[in-house]
Amino acid sequence: MNEQQKLRAERTRLEGEVKAMHTAAENRAWTPEEEAKVSAIESQIQNIDFRLMAIEEAMDMPAEQPEESSVEKNNLDEKIQAEVRKAVENLAISRRRTMPAPMIVSDLDDKRAERDRNLALRAWFLRSEASSEELAAARRCQLDLRNTRLQLRAQSTSTTAGGYTIPQGFLAELESKRLFFNTLRGVSRVIRTETGNTLPFPTTDDTSNLANLTAENTAPSATDITFGQVSLGAYKLDSLVQVSNELLRDSGLDLANEIAAILGERIGRKEAAFFATGTGSSQPQGVVTGASAGATAATTTTITLANIMSLVNSLDFAYQQGASFMLHQSVWNTILQLADSQNRPLFLDLINGNSPRLLGYPVVVNNNMASSIASGNVTMLFGDFSKYYIRQAGDLEIIRMDERYADAYQTGFMVVERVDAKVAQSAAIKKLTQPTTTTTTGA
């Protein structure tokens, strides 16, 4: 076995050793001895890569070329071996830059950094109850545990936390819960700004204006564009959760993600309520409130296929290209049960488990809309929901309250955000309303 084969075999053995250590410690913290051992192995892998590259350059053999046969390699004379050793020494002297880390080393570095961020975040939640390992991670991540405010900013550094980056798992848990309970965030236009100053947006609906056909040498006539304006402010939403200090000390609990799930769910529920039926006065405007009249059902307690088609037809075709239905899950259940005169389901493909679509358009379930088909209720929306603007002013912020609940041996955590929302173009979203009295038309 020549030198290259020995180096590659040693590198494979070291990689396997690191992977085995990582697998063994996947669900626990590494000990200082294990961290030191992995660092030493990483250095050995980098050194092997360096030596292999030097050998290949000395032999004028690119790394991607197929290896020579074992016979040819074993016939290398001492002169070539001496040139290889000399090339290694020359490269060690001339190349002062850091060699690129192999993929496994980079991956381990990323995992170690994420692990440190998670430990540091746990130290921030626990503070005086944090372990020495968690405190050490907070120092490495430059997280000041004395700061009681933590900004949650995805893929960036928290300016109030001294250069600390929020772990992605924590943000993902909070954001997923907020999105799960507020489905409008998934289909509307979300505008993020640093401050909460009033944000004006110009709007226009030019779907009714056409170009002119004019004869030769005839001056064109102008058709003015009518602009409107939507102003988005910033209303404060907050939620407070109190956690016993005994629970905080339970090392078996994934504390950060548990709190993220609770706070994300609470914020999502409150947003969803305002974003559905908010009045727009001293609170966000709901999509139901801002939608324009589309169709009226035939009776106070029923919805027919004709009613749904009338709602679709009420929306300008230009907006239909990106349109969706939105309704409560109870109303959606009623729609699924619509049948023809032979009692055959009208929407059989949905019953067979296909994705929720109605007349070819996606369906968004919003459980903050009317749950019953009753007099005066808006039971269904149809339109382009990207014309519903949600303004996120600044970042989500978590505030730790160390002293306020100390007499009960508890710590408070409050999440705060500033948002506003409004329908920017009412003609882009239409609503189906149940009549207050039954009529004889429209069915």
- Give the pTM: 0.63
| Per-residue pLDDT tens digits for 216-258 | 877 777 776 666 778 899 999 998 888 887 777 765 556 777 7
The conformation of residue 349, written as its DSSP 8-state character, comes to H
Check: CB of residue 370 under 8 Å from CB of residue 378. yes
pLDDT given for residue 332 in this prediction: 94
Helix (H, G, I), strand (E, B) or coil at 378: strand
What is the structure's pLDDT at 158?
42
The contacts of residue 137 (CB under 8 Å, 6+ apart) are 115, 116, 117, 119, 120, 123
Residues 418 and 237: their CA atoms lie apart, in Å, by 6
Report domain extents, the chain: 3-101, 165-203+229-443
The C-alpha atoms of residue 96 and residue 90 are separated, in whole angstroms, by 11
pLDDT value at residue 368: 93
The CATH architecture annotation of domain 165-203+229-443 reads Alpha-Beta Complex (3.90)
Helix, strand, coil % in the chain, rounded to nearest 5: 45, 20, 35
Residue-wise DSSP of 347-381? THHHHTT---EETTEEEEE-TTS--S--TT-EEEE
Pairing outcome for strands 235-244 and 357-358 = unpaired
Ramachandran bin of 142, using left for φ above 0, alpha for ψ from -120 to 50, beta for the remaining angles: left
Pairwise CA distance, residues 295 & 378, whole Å: 10
**CA dist., res. 220 & res. 211, Å (int):** 10
The Cα 280–Cα 289 span in angstroms is: 8
Alpha-carbon distance values, 411 to 152, 259, 400, 417 (Å): 19, 12, 7, 20
pLDDT along the chain (443 residues), means of 10: 80 81 69 78 78 69 49 54 59 46 50 76 77 80 79 46 53 63 88 87 68 77 72 91 78 67 84 94 95 95 95 95 95 91 77 76 94 96 96 86 85 89 94 83 45
pLDDT computed for residue 69 by the predictor? 52
